[in-house]
Amino acid sequence: MNNLNERGHSRRKWINRIMLGLSGTATAITILILALILGYTLVRGISYVNLNMLTQAAKPMGQTGGGMRNEIFGTLILVLLGSVIALPIGLLSGIFLAEFASPKVAATIRFTADILAGVPSIVVGVFVYAIMVMPMHSYSALSAGVALAIIMVPVVARTAEESLRLVPTSMREAALALGITRWRAVIGVVIPGAMTGIVTGIMLGVARIAGETAPLLFTALGSQFGVQGLSKPIGSLSLMIYHYALSPYPADQQKAWAGAFLLVLLVLVISIVVRWVSNRKHV
Amino acid sequence: MEEKINGMIQTMAKENNQNKACIEHPEDTKGILEVQNLNAWYGKTLAIKNISMSIPSKAIMAIIGPSGCGKSTFIRCLNRMHEVSHGGRVEGCIMLDGKDIYARDADPVVIRRRIGMVFQKPAPFPTMTVFDNVAAGLKLTQFWSRRWELEEVVERSLRQAALWDEVKDKLHQSGASLSGGQQQRLCIARAIAVQPEIILLDEPCSALDPASTLKIEDLMRNLVTQYSIVIVTHNMQQAARVSDMAGFFLADQDRAGILIQYGQTSQLFTNPKDKRTEDYITGRFG
Amino acid sequence: MAMKRKEQETTSPTGAKSWKFGRRSGFSDKIFSNLTLVFTLIMVGILVALVFVLAKDAMPAITKFGFSFFTGRIWNPVKDIYGALPAIYGTLLSSLIGLIIAVPISLGAAIFLVELAPKWLTGPASFIIEMLAAIPSVIIGLWGLYVLVPVVRSPIEKWLGSHLGSLPFFQGPPFGVGFLAAGLLLAIMIIPIITAVTRDAMKAVPNEQREAMFALGATRWETIDKAVLPYCRTGIVGAIILGLGRALGETMAVTMVIGNSYKLTASLFSPGATIASTIANQFGEATTGVYTGSLIELALILFGVTLIVNIVARTLVWRMTSVKAAKE
C17 pLDDT exceeds 50? no
Q: Is residue B76 part of a domain?
A: yes
Question: Is C24's CB within 8 Å of B107's CB?
Answer: yes
**pLDDT of the residue at C105:** 95
How close B110 comes to chain C (CA, Å)?
7
Residues of chain B with pLDDT under 70: 1-21, 24-30, 142-146, 286
Q: Residues of C numbered 97-156 whose beta carbons fall under 8 angstroms of chain A's beta carbons: which are they?
A: 104-109, 111-113, 115-117, 125, 127-132, 134-143, 145-147
Indicate the average pLDDT of chain C.
Answer: 85
Task: Residue window 156-215, chain C: list those with CB within 8 Å of chain A.
Answer: 188, 191, 195
How close, in Å, is residue A81 to chain B by CA atoms? 30
Q: Give chains near A: 3+ CB pairs under 8 A.
A: B, C
* C16 contacts in chain B (CB < 8 Å): 97, 197
- C47 confidence band (pLDDT: 50, 70, 90): very high
Q: What is the pLDDT of residues A216-274, one digit of tens each?
A: 998 988 877 777 778 888 889 999 999 999 988 888 888 899 999 999 999 999 988 98
Specify the pTM. Answer: 0.86
Instruction: Please say if the pLDDT value at position C8 is more than 60.
Output: no
Q: How far apart are CA A157 and CA B152, in angstroms?
A: 41
C14 to chain A, closest Cα gap in Å: 23
Asked if the model's pLDDT at residue C249 lies above 80, the reply is yes
- Chain B residues whose CB is inside 8 A of the C21 CB are 99, 101, 103, 105-107, 110-111
Q: What local confidence, expressed as pLDDT, does residue B27 receive?
A: 60
| Terminal CA-CA length for chain A | 44
Q: What is the pLDDT of residue A281?
A: 61
Residue C155, preceding peptide bond in cis (omega within 30° of 0) = yes
| Cα of A250 to nearest chain C Cα, Å | 11
Specify if B286 maps to a domain. no
Q: What is the mean pLDDT of residues A32-43?
A: 92
Looking at beta carbons, which residues of chain A come within 8 Å of B190?
174, 178
| More confidently predicted of C79 and A27 | A27
- How far is Cα C55 from Cα C34, in angstroms, rounded to an integer? 31
Cα–Cα dist A166/A156, whole Å: 15
Give the pLDDT mean for C189-216: 90
Identify whether the C-beta of residue A130 lies closer than 8 Å to the C-beta of residue C54: yes
Higher pLDDT, C163 or C104: C104
Cα(A256)–Cα(C90) distance, rounded to whole angstroms? 27
Mean pLDDT of C315-326: 71
Task: Convert the pLDDT of each residue in B156-207 to its tens digit.
Answer: 999 999 899 999 898 999 988 899 899 999 999 999 999 999 999 999 999 8
Q: What are the angstrom distances between the C-alpha of A16 and each of B129, C106, C134?
A: 55, 19, 34
Domain assignment of residue B79, yes or no = yes
User: Are C236 and C221 within 8 A, CB to CB?
Assistant: no
Residues of C in contact with A123 (CB under 8 A): 50, 54, 249, 299, 302-303
Q: What is the pLDDT of residue A7?
A: 57
pLDDT for res B145? 60
Q: How far is CA C262 from the centre of its chain?
A: 24
Structure ipTM: 0.90
pLDDT tens-digit map of A199-218: 999 999 999 999 999 999 98
**Residue B81: inside a domain, yes or no?**
yes
Determine what percent of chain C is predicted with pLDDT higher than 90.
Answer: 46
For an interface test with A, the pick among C38, C40, C198, C308 (most A C-beta atoms closer than 10 Å) comes out as C40
Give the bridge partners for B199, in sequence order. B116, B229
What local confidence, expressed as pLDDT, does residue A49 receive? Answer: 74
Identify the structural domains of chain C with CATH numbers, from first to last.
Answer: 68-327 (1.10.3720.10)
pLDDT surpassing 90 at residue A138: no
How many domains does chain B divide into?
1
Q: Tell me the per-residue pLDDT of C69-126, one tens digit each, with 9 for 90 and over.
A: 888 888 888 888 888 999 999 999 999 999 999 999 999 999 999 988 888 888 888 8
The pLDDT of residue A283:
42
Q: Are B216 and B185 in contact (CB under 8 A)?
A: yes
Q: Is residue B271 part of a domain?
A: yes
| Angle subtended by helix axes C85-111 and C275-282, to nearest 10 | 120
Instruction: Give pLDDT, residue A6.
Output: 59
Edge-to-edge strand list for the sheet holding B33-42:
B99-100, B88-96, B33-42, B45-55, B257-264, B245-251, B60-64, B228-232, B198-202, B115-118
> Is-contact B37 B223, C-beta < 8 A?
no
State percent of chain A over pLDDT 70: 95
Q: pLDDT digits over A91-133, tens only?
A: 999 999 999 999 999 999 999 999 999 999 999 999 999 999 8
C142-149 mean pLDDT: 94
The neighbour count for residue C49, using CB atoms within 10 Å, is: 15
- Choice between C242 and A10, residue whose per-residue pLDDT is larger: C242
Arithmetic mean of pLDDT, A79-87: 96
Whole-number pLDDT of residue C51: 95
Residue B203 domain flag: yes
Query: How far apart (Å, rounded) are the C-alpha atoms in residues B89 and B113?
Result: 21
Asked if C14 and B143 come within 8 Å (Cβ–Cβ), the reply is no
What is the reported pLDDT for B124? 92
Counting other chains too, the contacts that C173-177 makes at CB distance below 8 Å and 24 or more residues apart are C173/C269, C174/C269, C175/C259, C175/C269, C175/C270, C175/C271, C176/C149, C176/C150, C176/C152, C177/C145, C177/C149, C177/C257, C177/C258, C177/C259, C177/C271
Q: Which domain holds residue B160?
A: 2-281
Say which CATH number the domain at B110 has.
3.40.50.300
Q: In this predicted structure, what is the pLDDT of residue C6?
A: 38
Residues of B with CB under 8 A from a CB of A: 79, 81, 84, 109-114, 116-117, 119, 121, 123, 125-128, 136-137, 139-141, 187, 190-191, 194, 196
